Structure 1
Amino acid sequence: MFFNMFRGYSQADIQLLERVVFAEAQGEPYQGQVAVAAVILNRLKSPDFPNTISQIIYQPSAFESVTNGSIWWKQPNESAKRAVQDAINGSDPSGGALFFFNPRTATSPWVKNELVTIKTIGKHAFAIKKKKPPQRNGYTNNSYTYGNFNNGYNNGYNYDNYNNGYNNNGWQWERLPD
């Protein structure tokens, strides 16, 4: 048996993670298995995902093996168990990825339009979301940005100090840099 450092994860969390790694990365190189586990742990640290391992794994359509039930077909092998432990102990061959997919079989336009691959291990691409440029709702007069409400009209209220910077629609005025 190998050294276990659960770092606050329950035995149920560990077993569920092992099942997903085995189902999703069976036949992949060992580093690819560790990377799959790391993606789930990276999601745990991200504010964009649920805050428990089981919520991340059972998020609708997040993992094909959960959607098709294959996480329950076989017990995880020792390689998947070691890969989970390595990821828990800090190994992240994915490079901080929050997503993984097989580029040859992925059919979702979302994968092609929203993700950027940062690493490839075996048949899996490991990815993060594309960064989008900041967008402003409304228009600018060189001093303030006016929110996108009522076609840009402020309903007759003072732009500067009405209700501590909020108008009656809940928009906050933003001072632009000079």
Structure 2
Amino acid sequence: MKKIILAALLCVTSTLYIGYSVVFANNEFVYDSIMCQQNEEMLIERKANIHMKNEVINGLITNYRNGFDISRKERHVLERIVEAEAGGENISGKLLVANVVLNRVESKDFPNSVSKVVFAHSGGTYQFSPVANGRYYSVKVSKETKNAVRRALSGEDNSGGALYFAARRYADPGNMSWFDRCLDYLFSYGCHEFYDK
């Protein structure tokens, strides 16, 4: 009798797991389909030379630029670094971090892909502390972070051209000294300060 109950329980559990896997796979497919449709709409807007006006959102001037067409893998890298760096921030704070990474991708002074920017290091020092301390690899990306990344990739830019950011209260004083000496302070938002060269 115990064997029959155990066999029935295993069948039900397997069915639930397979059903969950199919639903999860379908959700990933639906998400990718929506992203593809949004990218197509952005391309149509670009071809028609449609531009949205700048506006102020959460006290930040938000500009609209051409969107970014990146691979799914690159999008996941961007989502993870935004979650690791700004998981406790509101959506504007997350959008800021995403845009700093994208600003670097566009800058001649940095690598030209999201992955290369996020994993860049010099002399053993990584550009993004969550990569160095491993937090990048352990975060669970929230829906809000995915939304912020989607908005940044579609061209919504609230960064004012910032190429650097730091959380002064958590940063090494030596690193912050370099920020203060070598970079131009732009503004603060949430727990981050934003800079340009």
TM-score by length of 2: 0.62
Secondary structure at the residue paired with 1:87? helix
- Displacement of 1:103 after TM fit? 2.0
Secondary structure at the residue paired with 1:127? strand
Secondary structure at the residue paired with 1:66? helix
Structure 1 position 46 matched with structure 2 position 114: no
Q: Distance in 2 between matches of 1:29 and 1:116?
A: 24
Structure 1 position 90 matched with structure 2 position 155: yes
Conserved 8 A contact 1:98-1:128: yes
After superposition, where does 1:11-160 map in structure 2 within 5 Å?
A: 11-60=72-121, 61-106=126-171, 107=173, 108=175, 109-129=177-197
Bigger CA drift: 116-125 or 103-112?
Answer: 103-112
Q: Distance in 1 between matches of 2:90 and 2:142?
A: 13
Instruction: Output the amino acid matched with 1:57.
Output: V
- Displacement of 1:117 after TM fit? 1.7
Instruction: Output the amino acid matched with 2:102.
Output: L
Q: Distance in 1 between matches of 2:194 and 2:180?
A: 13
| Structure 2 unpaired stretches of 5+ | 1-30, 40-67
Instruction: Output the amino acid matched with 2:180.
Output: K
CA offsets, 1:99-129, max 9 Å, x none?
A: 1111222321211211222121101111101
CA offsets, 1:6-52, max 9 Å, x none?
A: 54200000001000000000111210100000000000110000111
Instruction: Output the amino acid matched with 1:67.
Output: A
Percent identity between the two aligned chains: 36
TM-score by length of 1: 0.68
Structure 1 runs of 4+ with >6 Å offset: none
**Count of residues in correspondence between the two structures:** 129
Over aligned residue pairs, what C-alpha RMSD do you find?
1.6
Q: Distance in 2 between matches of 1:30 and 1:57?
A: 20
